Structure formats: C-alpha cells, structure tokens
Structure 1
Amino acid sequence: MRKLLFLLFFLAGLNSVSAQDDSNKLSLLVSSRVDTTSSDVRSIINLYESYYASKPDSIYDNPFWNKKEKELYEDFDFSRVSIFQGGMNANLLFKYFSPFVMSVEPIGEKYQIRVLFSSATTDPKYAGSKVWCIQKLNAIKENQRWVLENLIVDITSKWNAKKLDYFNYIFPPNHEFNEVEAQLGKSYCDEIIRRFNPNYNGSFNYYVTSSKDDMGLLENFDYYFVGITSGKAREGMILTANGNENYPHEFVHKLLPINSQRGQVIEEGLAVYLGTKQNQQEYEKLMSKLAFDLNKKSDKVNFKSVLSQAVTYNGYQTAYPTGAGICELVHELRGDNGLSQLLHADTSGYQEILEAACSITMLTENELEAKWETTIQKYYQP
C-alpha cells in the first residue's frame, strides 16, 4: 500500500464534513438491525469502543483482548498492521473513516461484531478508497467478562492439515493439496536455510486460501482496501491468497535470520531477489516498472527518492524493486557472502543502506548509485 505519504495526501483531501467531531472521537454509529435491547449486544459494542480507546495501534498487554492469543502472539490483533499502517492511529481512523456497526450476532457462545470504516467523501478523486475496511471480530467470555478474539481459529477449525518439516499446511476441505508444489517449497526452504541461516530450527503454519477476500478473513476483514495483498508472512505463519503450496517470497521473510535493524527496502529486496526471482518473468516485470520510471520520470523516481522511500508508491511499492536492485548488485559482486553481510547489517534507513552496501562492495557512493542504475536498466522495456 501507499503508506504514510499516501495516507497524508488522502486525509488532506477529504472534505471536513467526512470527519467526526473531535469532541466525540471514538463513538460508534450503530445499524438499526443491531438489537441494542440485548445487554450482551450492548456489552460487545462497549467492548469494541473500549478497545479502540485503548491505543490498539500499539502492542502491549491490552486488557480488552483474550489472554490465550496474547500469550501465543506478540502482535495478537491480526488486523492491527493493516488498519494502522502509514501513521494511522485510532483517533485518525475514527475521525476520517467514521465507524458504523453493521451487525452484532451470536455465534454459539460467542458474538461476532462487524464494523464498517468509511469516509463520507463523494469526490471521485478519493471515492475509490473511501472504504478503509470492514472489520469483523469475535467476542468471547473470559473470567466472566467479554474480550475480543481473532477469527482465524473458528474459520479454520474444520480445515485439513498436513505437516511437512518446517511448515504445517492448513487448507480448506475443497482445496486439492499439491504434493509436488509442497516438495518444491520444501526444497527451496532447504536451500535458503543452507545458504543464509544454517542454525534455523523453527516452524510455522502455512494457510492456503484461493482469494484475497478469503485471506482477508484470516486477518479479521470482511472487506479490505488497506493492506490488501496476495500473501503475508506473519508471526508464526504465512498466509496466501493464491491457492499455492510454494511461496518463495514469503518463505524468505520467515527463514532469514531476524535483524531488527533491517529496514523495509532491504527486507523486501531480499524477498524479491531470492524469492520472487524464482519466477523470472514475474521478477523482470516488477523490475521493469522501476526501470521505466527511472527513464521517464527521473525527476520524481530516482536513486535517492526510492532508496530513502521519499517516493514509496508509484503504481507499485518502490521498496521492492529498489531493494532487489541493491541485492542483485551485491550478489553479482560479492556472492552469497555479500548478501549474508547485507542481511545482517544495519539497513534501517537511506544512509545506513549506503554505508552497508558500499562497505560490502568496496564501491564509493557514486559508484554504487551508477552500478544500481545499470542493474535496474537491464530490465527496461520501452
């Protein structure tokens, strides 16, 4: 997604009538179909309001979420990253995308709340993204009080499972498991571990769905514009919307050594160069987008603007091919050893990437920029 720059541009363009009054930042509008005469339903609505008033964009021991999932996952709300990306917080969310409770329905001993986040804009320039998302969450009783819960356990409770070394495939009954693709995935993972993380001894779940909307439900979205994608590597799991057992790009995210100082450009660059490149046609298509922009829109899209992420989005997320270009030139000059140094380096920002890449390749900053330009331009398609 377009992240911070897109978000600020979008919010600035919304008409003031689309925003809630600041004096009532976290109030919910409720559909007439919701039975507010029920004390349980009112409790669920109050729970949802309380959660959003408790800084849900931050990760901490939130009292309005269930204990079991907080023990299993550090980032326990699976919708958090998508909803609050790009500098969004609960106050901004409620201000510009007024929440509307569409339904609160009993599901066995649980309840399920469904909330639409939408702006009131009618400006055609922004109307295509006026719906931020429709979030759906479970509410369960814990020690006689209602708390929130992800949907994923209930959705996948009757799905099939198949264990294969590092990963536990979880897929719906109507999915025909592809053993050949799974073995290809295992072989790829073996290679990445051998080359870059020989001490890896972890495992993760791999959830197979056949559409972005089905995958979105696993992250608590009945509909989502924000954060929509065809695959994600999350804490302890991979999600795919492609109906596939082999997803090299996401495998890279799960298998490389953890480095808190590895920034998005190099993180995604490694996943593209080592993973997406397994499909050469897909790799070249992505790289050609950046090559085209460097040729035709160099005043906006250039080495510094994309490496620093001053330009994050130009019809594609620029971090992906930008980082892949750095990884490709490092590998060309220094092989796997160079990539290993890069993935362990501090690449948290523009200057850090320059320093790390120059140190590894023994190039000056000007030489690095020229080499990167040459690397990207190989993929130019007029």
Structure 2
Amino acid sequence: MHLKPILAATLLFAAPVLVRSQESPSSAKRGIKVGIRADTISSPRREIFATWRAYVNNEPERFASSPYWISGDQKRWPIFDLAAAWIYFGAAGYPRPEATLVSIDPVIPGHEGAADTFIVRALYTTTDSAGNSLPVALTRTFAVRERDRWVLASPIPRLTAAWTRVRRGRITFIFPPTHVFNERRAERSGRFVDSLSRAFGIITPPPINFYVADRPEDLAKFVGVDMAVPQTSFGRAVPGNNMILSGLPVYGEWYPHELTHLVLARWLAERDVFGTMDEGMAHWLGGATGRPFPVLMAELSHELATRPLLTLDSLLGPGHRSDSLANRAAAGLLAFANERGGVNAVKAVLTPRKGKHGPDHLSSAADALGLHGSLLDAGWRAFVRLAAQK
C-alpha cells in the first residue's frame, strides 16, 4: 500500500503526564512586575493577583495540573492553558519571557462589587543580547470563583459558546457566526483523517475539535492572546486536547499539516520518533505555511544545488540539526520511501534504531529501502529533483 491515495483524497504539544506541580525553587528569583494602572490592593483584585502570581511562578509551560486553575478546564483538556504555548514557545532562542501585570478588571466595566468574573491582562517580554526588552505576548485570562476562592480560567469556552458546530466524520468544526463554512474542505479533512488512520493501523482515531478563525489575530484572541509574535498564530495542532486551531483563510477547514500531527501523535510518540521526522510527515502530506509539497521540494532542490556540502546525514543524521531545511529534507526522505516501498517503508523509516546520539532514522531508511552508504543519499537527491518538477 502506498500513501498516494491519501494525497489524492486529501508535541507544538504532546499530551503531558499530569502531575501535581510544586512551587519552583527558582520562582522567587524570576520576579513579576506590576503595571502603573494595575490595582493589586483592593479586594477581590488582591486575591486574584495572588492566584495569578502563584500560577505564573509555578512554571505553566510544563502544562502540569495546577491548584490555581479552574478544575473544569483541567478535566476537559490536558493542555488547559493554550496561551502558555504562545508565551513560552513563541520566542525560541531568547530568554524565558517574564510577566508584567497590566490590569485586573471585571468583564463588565463598572460592575465592581457584583462582578463574579474578571479579566487578568499581562504582558510577557524577553530580552535580546543587548538587554533590550522585546514583547512576546499580551494575554487575557479569566478569573472566576470556584469553591469560595479565585482561580484562573481559559477564555475559549466563554468566547466560543455561541459559535456554530458542524460534525463531519470524526471532526467537529467550530467557527464564529461570521465565518462561511466550506463544506468541501470539511469533507476533505474527514476523508484525510480516515485514510491516514487506516494506513497506520490506528483503529480508533480520536474525535477532533477543529476551531476555525478567519485571521491569525482572531485565532490568537480566542485562546487569550491579544498580541503575539508574528507567524505564531497561523494554526497548530494540540494532540493532548484532540484539537486543531486554524487561523489562515488559505487553510480554513482543510489543514492537512496539523491533522497529520494530531492523527499520528501517539503512534510517533510510541516509537520515539525524532521531532524533525514528525515535521517531515506533516510537510510531506500537508505542505507548510501554505506551500504544497512540490514547492517545498523545489526549495530543497535549490539549497542542495547551491550548497554542495549539505548531505542527508548532515541534515537528518542522529544528533544533527532541527530547522526548516531539515524538515523539508525529512519530507523528501519519507516521500521517497513511500515511492520505493509504500507505507511499510514509511513506517520503517519512522521506527528508528537507537543510537548513542539519539534516534537513527537514516539507518532504518537504508535497511528499509536497500540503499546503504552513498546510495541512499543519491537516491534521495534524485527523488527531490523529480518531485520539485511536479
């Protein structure tokens, strides 16, 4: 069996182990700033601020269960604070973002005394090599009462309560009243999930909640991010929540890149697949940032032609790089494996040997395809050139 029928029909988060988190020994050193108009003295703002500060100091990027977050969100979603990904993983290569409280206000302005829901706004910043402050995200988190105490809560259930829900296969599409639902794209996504699941022997693919926004800014806002680093709000899969977030009109209800991540998340995790190969699958079956697979191969072919020192080993060997070029190289290798040996060859490439420097996918590919040494590199290069012309 080959994966071509899937193409024709066509962990950002891994599900965490939920453990009770403890106050980090380093949390006191981080410090939290308070903006000039943020009231942290009057009640209930004082109590809300204490809850928010404790939560921020408790390493929310670990996505562990938290006594400071509403229990309903945590029961519903392992990744209950989606904004944390925008904050802590949106500025890779920079120091961990630090928080400044901007304001704590009731949802309905002017209803101070009777308010049972507040909004906590915070600005997260990092620094460059010269010490300049760089904004990463401006967030909006709800604060509500639970068992006579203030806890934090996700904006999603409240902001999407009135959104339309349409089910197609195992996917429930959730979108605002202003969005024009694309039936053809939705049906295509449903078929893609079924085909990919069958190809990899996933008997019961999870039911998927697929949120559709018409602009990246709208997508970010409904998860609680009013400002984010550019290109972080196009869309993403949240396998832990069986959730797709789609924020670009070019994708809408048809987002095979992120659907690939979600459907195969557990299968890949069980085999300790290197992250670049995971991205390679998504690049191959779903393209990247609106560019289809042949365009990605054309880009890769150009790089290989102009940089002769690049090899399959330098791009995908154990312990090597993890970047957009490596992702495209992985996509080409997986497509090459499918061309030569079908889905069983793809599965073999994605079942790496255990090397001293990490998962060794190239050795698995060489065995699966019967191409060892320079033959594997040569075959892969030839395939990339041909794929770039399609």
Q: TM-score, normalised by structure 2?
A: 0.78
1:269 and 2:283 correspond: no
**1:345, CA displacement in angstroms?**
4.8
1:85 and 2:89 correspond: yes
State how far apart, in whole Å, the 2-side matches of 1:343 and 1:326 are: 11
* 2:58 counterpart (42, 45, 54): 54
User: What is the match of residue 371 of structure 1?
Assistant: 379
**1:350, CA displacement in angstroms?**
5.9
- What amino acid sits opposite 2:296 in the alignment? L
Instruction: Classify the secondary structure of the residue corresponding to 2:211.
Output: strand
Structure 1: runs of 5 or more not aligned: 1-21
User: What is the match of residue 157 of structure 2?
Assistant: 153
User: What is the match of residue 130 of structure 1?
Assistant: 134
1:293 and 2:300 correspond: no
User: What is the match of residue 320 of structure 1?
Assistant: 327
Structure 1 residues 25 and 302: CA distance shift in structure 2, 3 A: farther
* 2:38 counterpart (19, 34, 40): 34
Say if 2:118 and 2:142, in contact at 8 Å, map to a contact too.
Answer: yes
* 2:237 counterpart (224, 233, 237): 233
1:85-128 deviations in Å (ceiling 9; x for gaps): 39979x952xxx442222211125221111112246696xx97x
Say if 1:264 and 1:319, in contact at 8 Å, map to a contact too.
Answer: no
User: What is the match of residue 284 of structure 1?
Assistant: 294
1:203-245 deviations in Å (ceiling 9; x for gaps): 1100000111111124331111177042211121101012411
1:259 and 2:268 correspond: yes
State how far apart, in whole Å, the 2-side matches of 1:76 and 1:64 are: 12
Q: What aligned pairs does 1:89-238 form with structure 2 within 5 A after superposition?
A: 92-93=95-96, 97-107=97-107, 109-119=116-126, 130-225=134-229, 228-234=232-238, 235-238=241-244
Say if 1:262 and 1:347, in contact at 8 Å, map to a contact too.
Answer: no
Say if 2:351 and 2:364, in contact at 8 Å, map to a contact too.
Answer: no
User: What is the match of residue 341 of structure 1?
Assistant: 348
State which drifts further: 109-118 or 343-352. 343-352
**1:336, CA displacement in angstroms?**
1.8
User: What is the match of residue 17 of structure 2?
Assistant: none
Say if 2:154 and 2:224, in contact at 8 Å, map to a contact too.
Answer: yes
State how far apart, in whole Å, the 2-side matches of 1:174 and 1:156 are: 12
**1:162, CA displacement in angstroms?**
0.8
Structure 1 residues 136 and 339: CA distance shift in structure 2, 3 A: same
User: What is the match of residue 11 of structure 1?
Assistant: none
Structure 1 residues 303 and 205: CA distance shift in structure 2, 3 A: same
User: What is the match of residue 4 of structure 1?
Assistant: none
Say if 1:34 and 1:102, in contact at 8 Å, map to a contact too.
Answer: yes
**1:139, CA displacement in angstroms?**
1.6
**1:379, CA displacement in angstroms?**
5.8
1:258-292 deviations in Å (ceiling 9; x for gaps): 23112211211112212339x8x622222233332
**1:310, CA displacement in angstroms?**
4.3
1:329 and 2:336 correspond: yes
State how far apart, in whole Å, the 2-side matches of 1:346 and 1:156 are: 44
Cα RMSD between the aligned structures? 3.2
**1:185, CA displacement in angstroms?**
2.0
Structure 2: runs of 5 or more not aligned: 1-25, 108-114
Instruction: Classify the secondary structure of the residue corresponding to 1:259.
Output: helix
* 2:256 counterpart (248, 251, 255): 248
1:13-44 deviations in Å (ceiling 9; x for gaps): xxxxxxxxx99633222222223342222222
User: What is the match of residue 303 of structure 1?
Assistant: 312
State how far apart, in whole Å, the 1-side matches of 2:375 and 2:349 are: 18
State how far apart, in whole Å, the 2-side matches of 1:63 and 1:109 are: 19
State how far apart, in whole Å, the 2-side matches of 1:110 and 1:289 are: 50
Q: TM-score, normalised by structure 1?
A: 0.80
- What amino acid sits opposite 1:356 in the alignment? S
Percent of matched pairs sharing the same residue: 25
- What amino acid sits opposite 1:100 in the alignment? T
State how far apart, in whole Å, the 2-side matches of 1:220 and 1:294 are: 41
Structure 1 residues 30 and 290: CA distance shift in structure 2, 3 A: same
The count of aligned residue pairs is 347
State how far apart, in whole Å, the 1-side matches of 2:45 and 2:80 are: 24
Say if 1:292 and 1:380, in contact at 8 Å, map to a contact too.
Answer: no
State how far apart, in whole Å, the 1-side matches of 2:312 and 2:233 are: 26
